Chains A and B, each alone.
Chain A
Amino acid sequence: MTATSAPEAQARPKRRPGDIVFGGLSTASAFSILLILAGVAIFLISEAVPVFGADPAEITGGEGFLSYVWPLVFGTLVASLVAMAVATPVAVGIALFVSHYAPTRVGTAVGFVIDLLAAVPSVVFGMWGFQVFAPKLVPLFIWLQEHLGFLPFFESASRTGRTLFTASLVLAVMILPIITAVSREVFLQTPTLHEEAALALGATKWEMIRTAVLPFGKPGVIGGTMLGLGRALGETMAVAIILSPGVFTWNLIDSGNTTVPAEIALNFPEAAGLRLSELIAAGLVLFGITLAVNLGARAIVNRRAEFSGAN
């Protein structure tokens, strides 16, 4: 504990080999993330390139890549948007239940159950949707056809239940956890003073939530919803197993339609040559769409964090 060399050390900290190695490893790891992401884009493009130079007649469908991919993209968007529309109100309800209704211990238990829902592998959701859920929906589909059959979405009903609508509902269950988690987080951040002020003015619990919690949490809920949308867009196995795929149709309650990931999963194992490039190009399109949605979601969530009064 002598201080003989202290002034020197202060002037120029010693560069120890350990520090150089450790710092180098951390920096290299951090930049490897950049490399991996660039790699994903570059290698997908390099394998997809043959499609864009190919004769349109050789592409599946015979009319070029665009007319091949747009029904897939459309199916993906419809399935994901329906899932999002179904899941969001339920997720907000659960988030409110955990943050403002349930006692702390019950809330923790519910959080665990929701985490469990997030952890179930998608292939298991697919099998369950196919064997248990789809048959249960058939009566509903028949009812929809009989009473709302004049709408293009409910023209004819499937007797197996393996429809885009079924897939959307299973997707809704699968994206519930992420929307719930983000919403719960922002609801818990509501400034207690706002809540107490509302209650002190004589508001009922629901009025307190409507005037203090929901306005504060709105950007978070929107961001969480878009994260859920991003997940639904990329979800593969559940749709691949449940949906009985087919050509594009507006009818949601009969077989038909397909999504980009399901198309890839169903056809990739047997694909070769140009078909392979076609599927990889479709994957590239999917990557672009999910990227855009996720960036939008992050932007909204992060903007909330910066201006949050709770910090």
Chain B
Amino acid sequence: MSVDTAPKPRQRKLADIEGVEIDKVRASSNRQAYVVLAAAAAVAALLWLIGLNPALALVLGYAGYLVAVYTVYRAVAGKRVAADQVARGLVLGAFVVAVVPLLSLLYTVVVRGGATALDPAFLNQTMNGITGLQDQATQRDGAPLIGGAYHAIIGTLIITGIAAAISVPIGVFTAIFLVEYQPKGRVSQMIRFLVDVMTGIPSIVAGLFAFALWAVLFGIGTKNGFAGAVALSVLMISTVVRNSEEMLRIVPNELREAALALGVPKWRTIAKVVLPTAASGLASGVTLAIARVIGETAPLLVAVGYARGLNVDPSQGPMNTLAVYAYYMFTKPLSPGFREPSLDRAWAAALLLVLIVVVLNLTARLIAKAFAPKTGR
């Protein structure tokens, strides 16, 4: 653009630039890599068949693949291509490392919890009056499993519902404040900062806060559903604000200007133009926020306590929720000598939780996709 009067920098050679190696590269394709991969897989399978630990066989096979692919490409195409192929192997390996635990977890949850979760008795009964004796009968004598998670399912719905009823208005209105009323300036900068801080609150600290607040308001040791809902709201509001802010921000300014130019009051512009345009995004953001808190255990353990029977009144005493139910069944089986029935219940509750979370996530995506405003004109 402008005439450069500064002294010209010394002409640098390509080889001087950091990270550039001048080395001949010969033409190559990925075909050799697939061959090496197949060979490595065969070696890993062989190691496993001769009695090596499958995980160890896999790790050795993978390490062998990296070494072999380097050697082959170094010979075929040179050092730089060899490094490129190793990097490709590492990146793909990272992906596999993340997927393996997820698959193992989903498999375990489905296999361990599947049968119990489909049992109508599990879905319709509470733990009222169930003791270790019944579990003993189930495991030793083959009696049907009695005692289920009905109360926990209802409790989860009530507490999460109240939490959503508190967080969604606060979160959406805060987002409206940030986008429509104070898009710039010190105040909104501070609010955004505080939302960031809120995102980082550990879930158990949110629970302790609700417990401490209730201790001051209603006397020490008061645990009930509302306290749990408050704890979940602390975790949920920040997610709702962030998701909603993003969605309101992508509403085109032309729509606002068109409405305001027609003489529509600002609040009606927001309520009738901005919010409907962003509705699908808002709904999907709220769904994701619910999915985030519905599996929370620690805050509810602290603020709501644990109930064996059905309690539908969130202002009166402890309630049960699926996550806390799973935790108690898993760590404190009814009968320490006969743990299987309790573990079955725990895994079934875990399966229900995972199903709920997956369904909520899929719903959020579908809402966002199906009702997305048509772009382009």
Report A-chain residues with C-beta under 8 Å of the C-beta of B201.
40, 234, 287, 290
Out of B99, B178, B208, name the residue touching A283 (CB < 8 Å). B208
A-B contacts counted at CB < 8 A amount to 286
Q: A124-B326, A124-B353, A265-B204 known; A211 and B181 CB under 8 Å? A: no
Bitwise interface map of A from 21 to 32 toward B, beta carbon under 8 Å scored 1, else 0: 111011111111
Task: Say yes or no: A234 contacts B203, CB within 8 Å.
Answer: yes
Report B-chain residues with C-beta under 8 Å of the C-beta of A112.
365
Task: Say yes or no: A97 contacts B95, CB within 8 Å.
Answer: yes
The contact size tier of chain B is 35 or more
Report A-chain residues with C-beta under 8 Å of the C-beta of B212.
43-44, 46-47, 280
Report B-chain residues with C-beta under 8 Å of the C-beta of A89.
94
Out of A114, A116, A206, A291, name the residue touching B358 (CB < 8 Å). A116
Task: Say yes or no: B204 contacts A127, CB within 8 Å.
Answer: no
Task: Say yes or no: A268 contacts B295, CB within 8 Å.
Answer: no
Task: Say yes or no: A47 contacts B215, CB within 8 Å.
Answer: yes
Report A-chain residues with C-beta under 8 Å of the C-beta of B112.
131
Q: At the interface, is chain B mostly helix, strand, loop or mixed?
A: helix
Q: At the interface, is chain A mostly helix, strand, loop or mixed?
A: helix
Query: Is B270 close to A, CB under 8 A?
Result: yes
Task: Say yes or no: A125 contacts B105, CB within 8 Å.
Answer: yes
Task: Say yes or no: A280 contacts B361, CB within 8 Å.
Answer: no
Query: Is B66 close to A, CB under 8 A?
Result: no
Task: Say yes or no: A298 contacts B196, CB within 8 Å.
Answer: yes
Q: A96-B91, A286-B205 known; A128 and B104 CB under 8 Å? A: yes
Query: Is A120 close to B, CB under 8 A?
Result: yes
Q: A26-B173, A43-B213, A44-B209 known; A210 and B301 CB under 8 Å? A: no
A293–B298 Cα distance when bound, in Å, is: 21
Bitwise interface map of B from 265 to 305 toward A, beta carbon under 8 Å scored 1, else 0: 11110110000000000000000000110111110011001
Query: Is A123 close to B, CB under 8 A?
Result: yes
Query: Is A133 close to B, CB under 8 A?
Result: yes
Q: A29-B173, A94-B95, A234-B202 known; A119 and B361 CB under 8 Å? A: yes
A75–B130 Cα distance when bound, in Å, is: 38
Query: Is A151 close to B, CB under 8 A?
Result: no
Query: Is B72 close to A, CB under 8 A?
Result: no
A-B contact pairs, 22 of them (CB 8 A): A19-B266, A26-B173, A26-B177, A29-B177, A40-B201, A93-B94, A96-B91, A113-B102, A116-B361, A119-B361, A120-B354, A120-B357, A121-B354, A123-B297, A127-B346, A131-B108, A139-B56, A204-B81, A237-B298, A269-B305, A280-B211, A294-B200
